[in-house]
Amino acid sequence: MQEPYLDSMEKERKFLNDQDGFDPSAPPPFRINEIRAAIPEHCWVKNPWRSFGYVLRDLLVVSALIVAALHFNSWFFWPLYWVAQGTMFWAIFVLGHDCGHGSFSDSSMLNSIVGHVLHSSILVPYHGWRISHRTHHQNHGNVEKDESWVPLTEKTFKELPHSTRILRFTVPFPMLAYPLYLWYRSPGKEGSHFNPYSNLFTANERKLVVTSTVCWTIMAVFLLYLSFVVGPVQMLKIYGVPYLIFVMWLDFVTYLHHHGHDKHKLPWYRGKEWSYLRGGLTTVDRDYGLFNNIHHDIGTHVIHHLFPQIPHYHLIEATKAAKPVLGKYYREPKKSGPIPFHLIENLIRSLKQDHFVSDTGEILYYQTDLKSAQKFY
């Protein structure tokens, strides 16, 4: 009888044999300080004026799109507006993301103020997200401690209700997961980004979480007020649909930075095999075509994960400088056309195959549950 899952480790071993014995899970022959030393000093400099320039650019585009949508007010233009504005909401999130990492400026107060304004405007609780995202960076690639799109263990996977499996692994449902993640986190984890007493936060972080939840609530109330002033349908067209597009961008990009590599699966770790460097090297750079500049080169992700203090406008140069040190541990992203349609295939293939990892072991690869795969697709 065929097993209900495929042993991805066996697949990975076959791939490694086909690739001259290179093992992406092996401890790298370089240290993180060697990568740091290869990056030019100016790449670490945070220029708040330049950062504000990007904020101004994005806010002007957002405002212009609203004016254009209200002016044309046609069902031909609205879909174009939704895609463009949702993409700009995602760009705004990335700038708030820089604030969360402290790469917007050297001032923690300035980072906090700008981060709250930007993230609250798109219904993201700034400190709640910032703290859990810091956990993600500090534990990237660790199946027990990572926070973003963490693999399910086989035991947890098998305990999931069928409906939850469908929502987790069937397109487009995973691309709408972010609001639920903010409220409930991922399967197998507990807590909320809005609750200061959640186990996501320490006691001295509770006031920060309260501040962000209050800001989020003010924005939510403001949107509700506007819906009474201009009408709920109009608010849905102006804000609601772009928000959903933004959520899809966020889930799409964050998932593909840690899953669905073109040629082979990437390792995850637990226990003594995990290290900050090895975990960071499991991230994947992506080319998003014409969107690279629009969403502030967030696809240049490996160096960002290793050194989140580097401002987004230096990531490309820093990556170019680091590549000779990284060698085969850096995976060149597949070149995209203007629209990154090729990444949709990566997403669907990964969701179809990457279901869970073993309950035991310290170097892990995704395995596929064949019974679920046949039902999902």
The answer to whether the Cα torsion of 64, 66, 70, 74 is positive or negative is positive
3-state secondary structure of 248: helix
Q: What is the C-alpha separation between 128 and 95, in angstroms, rounded?
A: 16
Which amino acid type is present at position 245?
A: I
Is residue 343 a contact partner of residue 336, using CB atoms and an 8 Å limit?
A: yes
The pair of structure tokens assigned to 162 is: 């069928």
- Total number of domains in the chain: 1
* % of the chain exceeding 70 in pLDDT: 93
User: For position 16, what pLDDT does the model report?
Assistant: 46
User: For position 188, what pLDDT does the model report?
Assistant: 75
377: pLDDT strictly greater than 90:
no
User: For position 206, what pLDDT does the model report?
Assistant: 96
Q: What is the mean pLDDT of residues 184-211?
A: 92
Domain of residue 339: give its range.
5-376
pTM of the model: 0.92
